[in-house]
Amino acid sequence: MNTLLPAIGFGLVTASILAVAGVGFTLQFGVTNILNLAYGDIMTAAAFVAYLVTSAGVSVWLALVAGAAFGGVFSVVLNRALYTPFVRHGTRLFGMIIVTISVSLIVQNGLQAIFGASFFSLNMPRPAPIHVAGMVFTTVQFAIIGIAVAAMLLVHLLLRYTKLGKAMRATASDPELARNCGIATDRVIDLAWALSGTLCGLAGVILVMNVTAFTDTTGSQFLIPVVAVAVLGGIGQPYGAMLGALIIGIASEVAAAVISPDYKNVVAFVILVIVLLARPQGILSEIATRKEVAA
Amino acid sequence: MSAPAGPLLTVRDLHREFGGVRAVNGASFEVPGGGITGLIGPNGAGKSTVLNVIAGSIKPTSGEIAYREQDITALPPYKLARRGIIRTFQLSSEFAQLTVLENLLVAAPGQRGETLWQAALGKRYWRAQERAVVQRARELLTRFDMTAKEDEYAGNLSGGQKRLLELMRGLMAEPALLLLDEPMAGVNPSLARRIEQHLLDLCGEGLTMLMIEHELAVVERLCDPVIVMAQGRVIAQGSMADVRTDREVLDAYLIG
Amino acid sequence: MSVAWQFYISTVLIYLGVDVIACWGLNLQFGVAGLVNFAYIIFQAAGAYTAAVLTLGPATRGGFQQYIGGAHLPFPVPILVAGVVGGLLAAVVGGLAIRRLRSDYEAMVMLVVSLIATSVATNQSGLVNGSNGLALVPKPLAAMVNLSPIGYQWLFVGITAVICLCVYWLVHIVTSSPLGRTLRAVRDNEQAAAALGKNVAALRMLAFVLGGVLAGISGAILVEFISAWSPGSWLYPETFVYFTAVIVGGSGNNLGVMVGALLVPVAFLEATRFVPQFGPPGLIDALQWIIVGVLALVFLWFWPRGVIPERRRRFPRPAEGEADGAPRRVPLFLRAGR
């Protein structure tokens, strides 16, 4: 028992980061229909932006804002300058995946070329431990959970109560129909890249806040559980991704504590396999029925 | 070949729900052998869903489909196709990076060299049959006046030519029952008349078809019997003349 | 030719053979059947590992490397078994991922599989000796033939060439037969192919497994040649190199893919040997990957069909005179039913 509770605590932290990244990823893919495999590398890039900001002696909170803003702007520009032109040029799904991997490689290795292949860490105040119900958090981890909860609430409000948010949700849950109804306009697409990119940037910064050191591959390594979260929750389902993050985050940390740290990613994989066998459309998705309607 | 005694296809009490919405709600009808059976009804009547269920691409919630008095409910599409139930799609579904001729060749059933082992036996094993299939495909191209497009990539065809290819490919698959989902949707009037004539000719040669069509004038010229659906049910069936005077049908078309 | 040059050229040729086989396998999956398999490199790694342990002999208790299933099998057997293992692994992964999944889902699952497999291989030391990998794999036939090192190099080139020919025969019969045409139809429109009586799931699975077999064989040749196996050399960007090779060469065209293998993994990675080192360590590596990425983008934009595009298949027409003038009515071959 005494390893389980702290593990659940770690799990909550991991789940928070996963939720921010996963919701961004699932919205991006659901709304724009582009499987952006450079997502993890944009997270890393945002982390490096935050690194530069904190190295200049500015507070880590401002670095967080800078990283998130960078993620949003970079994603919108990336889509406008590269992805959309390729789609208009007639590149189909497979081709687009190759395009996004190219971007992933270019961003990751670009960072390596600029910063060098070594370890980096954010310059921030030394965290203090906080005990909550048998779980131990650092102040930073506490902040991460808080940031994630706030971000999820904001996303919820945005999707539920604003016109653009509703349009985005409609597009994510049924792109075909939304397009036919004239919803999926460029504005919605732009907003989707901005919102998902901001979440991506935010996730990148909180990810490296939680580790002692990061490299140019930190974000792309994190992409596995993020994708697992998105698949688990059902593509285009932000609430599914939140639930998926909670499940995978806690399960992987518990497995790491109880079995062996090596199994951290394996758990995500096993969960994914079970989901694929039992319910390929994800836990909170109506994709299956939709697919049949479209057939 | 003698005509089968009973109907070719029987649909009994078919239901299909999508997340609480009843797209098909207890549809029953028969498709007699020979001739073109029309499936009509206002938008959202469940026509396409019925066609998709018959073709196996949607599983019914409940109900039964019998073909030549054998239960075929919920068989996968490829097994239905191998029994001779061939469907066309409402949106063109050409193999874009194959030539027109290759599109037709793919459709030929029972090809030699289509499994790994047969392919490994080499060209000599499948060449003779391939020649026969190519010849048949060319005859179809001649019949549909598409010979000039033989080597064109199917993706480069015009919308109307794609409709013709869709029909030719269906025929190449040696159908016993051809399911047509709005075969004339979105083509210009003169091509629509040509397709109509082709369908009449095929009908005269003994091919059984079940066709969804919006244009009532076309249905009147081609189809007998006609099945009218509204809100997931069959509300009338019979000849177009009978159906036309049916009170319920008039209501469905005026209201629906 | 000096011995050093002979060594260099024979080594490049062997790498070329390995890459060509791997690219043909990936082309069967991606170019012909339209399956996006990001885990491709894992099948190559599995084949390589199989060949290594089947050549190394049983692991000794307390020995410096730990692995399972060791045996001493004579030369072509480890390579053949590696192909079988690659195929079996493909059957398992395919069974998971090719289950009526949307193709985008499928790609994601493959990506995750490849990343996870790498992390398992790196962490489970009992299974594959962890991140240390395997070393000192005996070279095939080396104990039986009495050749100078350079003579052996050329023997290995010969072996590789023979395997390449066999593999070419396999990919050729698949792509040039009605089977290949049907696979391409499945790639272009799955639903329509199913509606014409094609068992789409089985066909996709076939292409996937064949690709897995070729990946396994290519990995086996590589490991027998370099005598070592390490999980670090099978990371998912390597799959991307093969994808780039297939796209640059011309997906769907076996010859084009061969050219792609020559241009991207071989020529490109070899060329950097001659670039003087500059900057901090890792910079050249990083630049190399950036260039591979840019190369893929440039080709997808300007030449999406590759250097040698997929061939447009034309069929010979019957000789003049055979065809009589008036178009005949075609009998429809209506079936009496089965």
Q: Could A289 and B19 be called an inter-chain contact, meaning their C-beta atoms sit closer than 8 Å?
A: yes
Cβ of B41: how many Cβ atoms within 10 Å? Answer: 25
The reply to whether C100 touches chain B by the CB within 8 Å rule is: no
Residue type, A125: P
Q: Could C287 and A280 be called an inter-chain contact, meaning their C-beta atoms sit closer than 8 Å?
A: no
B88/B194 same-domain check: yes
**Final residue in a domain of this structure, among B156, B181, B203:** B156
B197/B239 same-domain check: yes
A contacts of B19 (beta carbons < 8 Å): 286, 289
Q: Could A292 and B19 be called an inter-chain contact, meaning their C-beta atoms sit closer than 8 Å?
A: no
Mutation for C interface: A91, A94, A112, A119, most C CBs within 10 A? A94
Domain that holds residue A198: 4-111+130-294
How far away is chain C from the Cα of A121, in angstroms, using its nearest Cα? Answer: 20
Q: Could C195 and B94 be called an inter-chain contact, meaning their C-beta atoms sit closer than 8 Å?
A: no
A contacts of C101 (beta carbons < 8 Å): 276, 280
Cα A17 from Cα A38, distance rounded (Å): 17
Cα C79 from Cα C87, distance rounded (Å): 12
How does residue A274 score in pLDDT terms, banded at 50, 70 and 90? confident
Say yes or no to pLDDT of C335 above 80. Answer: no
ipTM: 0.92
Say yes or no to pLDDT of A230 above 90. Answer: no
Which 3-state string (H, E, C) describes chain B? CCCCCCCCEEEEEEEEEECCEEEEEEEEEEECCCEEEEEECCCCCCHHHHHHHHHCCCCCCEEEEEECCEECCCCCHHHHHHCCEEECCCCCCCCCCCEHHHHHHHHCCCCCCCCHHHHHCCHHHHHHHHHHHHHHHHHHHHHCCCHHHCCCEHHHCCHHHHHHHHHHHHHHCCCCEEEEECCCCCCCHHHHHHHHHHHHHHHHCCCEEEEECCCHHHHHHHCCCEEEEECCEEEEEECHHHHHCCHHHHHHHHHC
> Per mean pLDDT, which range of A110-124, B107-121, B140-154, C105-119 is the poorest?
C105-119
How far away is chain B from the Cα of A288, in angstroms, using its nearest Cα? Answer: 10
Q: Per the domain annotation, does A97 fall within a domain?
A: yes
Q: Could C304 and A91 be called an inter-chain contact, meaning their C-beta atoms sit closer than 8 Å?
A: yes
DSSP string, C265-298: IIIIHHHGGGSPP-SSTTHHHHHHHHHHHHHHHH
B61/B34 same-domain check: yes
| Domain at B39, CATH number | 3.40.50.300
What's the distance, CA C98 to chain centroid? 19
Number of domains chain B is built from: 2
Q: Could B76 and C194 be called an inter-chain contact, meaning their C-beta atoms sit closer than 8 Å?
A: yes
| Domain at A59, CATH number | 1.10.3470
How does residue B214 score in pLDDT terms, banded at 50, 70 and 90? confident
How far away is chain B from the Cα of A291, in angstroms, using its nearest Cα? Answer: 10
Chain B from 55 to 94: CB within 8 A of any A CB: 57-59
How far away is chain C from the Cα of A278, in angstroms, using its nearest Cα? Answer: 11
Structure tokens at A79: 């889509």
Domain that holds residue B110: 96-156
Question: pLDDT tens-digit profile of C264-279?
Answer: 888 776 766 666 767 7
Q: Per the domain annotation, does A125 fall within a domain?
A: no
Q: Per the domain annotation, does B165 fall within a domain?
A: no
Q: State mean pLDDT over B42-55.
A: 89
B85/B123 same-domain check: no
The reply to whether B143 touches chain C by the CB within 8 Å rule is: yes
Mutation for A interface: B18, B59, B90, most A CBs within 10 A? B18
B188/B90 same-domain check: yes
What residue in B sits closest to A288 (Cα-Cα)? B18
Average predicted confidence (pLDDT) for chain C = 82
Mutation for B interface: A94, A173, A290, A293, most B CBs within 10 A? A293
Q: Quickly list H helices, C98-235.
A: 103-123, 125-128, 149-176, 178-188, 190-195, 200-226
Say yes or no to pLDDT of C126 above 90. Answer: no
Average predicted confidence (pLDDT) for chain A = 84
Domain-by-domain residue ranges, chain C? Answer: 3-234
Residue type, B122: G
Question: pLDDT tens-digit profile of A50-79?
Answer: 999 999 988 889 999 999 999 999 999 999
Mutation for B interface: C167, C183, C206, C334, most B CBs within 10 A? C334
B53/B102 same-domain check: no
Q: What percentage of chain C's residues is helix, strand, coil (to nearest 5)?
A: 65, 0, 35
Residue type, B99: T
Phi, psi at residue B235, to the nearest 5°?
Answer: -100, -15
**Count of A-C CB contacts under 8 Å:** 131
B88/B126 same-domain check: no
How far away is chain C from the Cα of A26, in angstroms, using its nearest Cα? Answer: 12
Question: pLDDT tens-digit profile of C178-191?
Answer: 999 999 999 999 88
Give residue A287's pLDDT: 42
Q: Could C105 and A291 be called an inter-chain contact, meaning their C-beta atoms sit closer than 8 Å?
A: no
Say yes or no to pLDDT of C145 above 90. Answer: no
The reply to whether B106 touches chain C by the CB within 8 Å rule is: yes
The reply to whether B54 touches chain A by the CB within 8 Å rule is: no
B contacts of A293 (beta carbons < 8 Å): 18, 23
Q: Per the domain annotation, does A116 fall within a domain?
A: no
Q: State mean pLDDT over C228-241.
A: 76
Q: State mean pLDDT over C23-44.
A: 90
How far away is chain A from the Cα of C87, in angstroms, using its nearest Cα? Answer: 20
Which one, of B56, B113, B72, B87, lies nearest residue B177 by Cα?
Answer: B87
Give residue C338's pLDDT: 35
B139/B184 same-domain check: no
The reply to whether B189 touches chain A by the CB within 8 Å rule is: no
What residue in A sits closest to B51 (Cα-Cα)? A295
B121/B209 same-domain check: no
The reply to whether C179 touches chain B by the CB within 8 Å rule is: yes
Cα B59 from Cα A146, distance rounded (Å): 46
What residue in C sits closest to B153 (Cα-Cα)? C312
How far away is chain B from the Cα of C208, in angstroms, using its nearest Cα? Answer: 13
Give residue B154's pLDDT: 94
Q: Per the domain annotation, does B1 fall within a domain?
A: no
A contacts of B21 (beta carbons < 8 Å): none
How does residue C64 score in pLDDT terms, banded at 50, 70 and 90? low
C contacts of B120 (beta carbons < 8 Å): 173
Q: State mean pLDDT over B65-93.
A: 92
Q: Could A116 and C113 be called an inter-chain contact, meaning their C-beta atoms sit closer than 8 Å?
A: no
How does residue B1 score in pLDDT terms, banded at 50, 70 and 90? very low
A contacts of B23 (beta carbons < 8 Å): 293
A contacts of C125 (beta carbons < 8 Å): none
Give residue B91's pLDDT: 84
Q: State mean pLDDT over B214-239.
A: 90
> Per mean pLDDT, which range of A212-221, C48-57, C227-236, C290-299 is the poorest?
C227-236
Give residue A236's pLDDT: 78
With contact defined as 3+ CB pairs under 8 Å, the chains touching B are A, C
What residue in B sits closest to C32 (Cα-Cα)? B97
B132/B35 same-domain check: no
**What residues of A are in the B interface, CB distance below 8 Å?**
286, 289, 292-293, 295
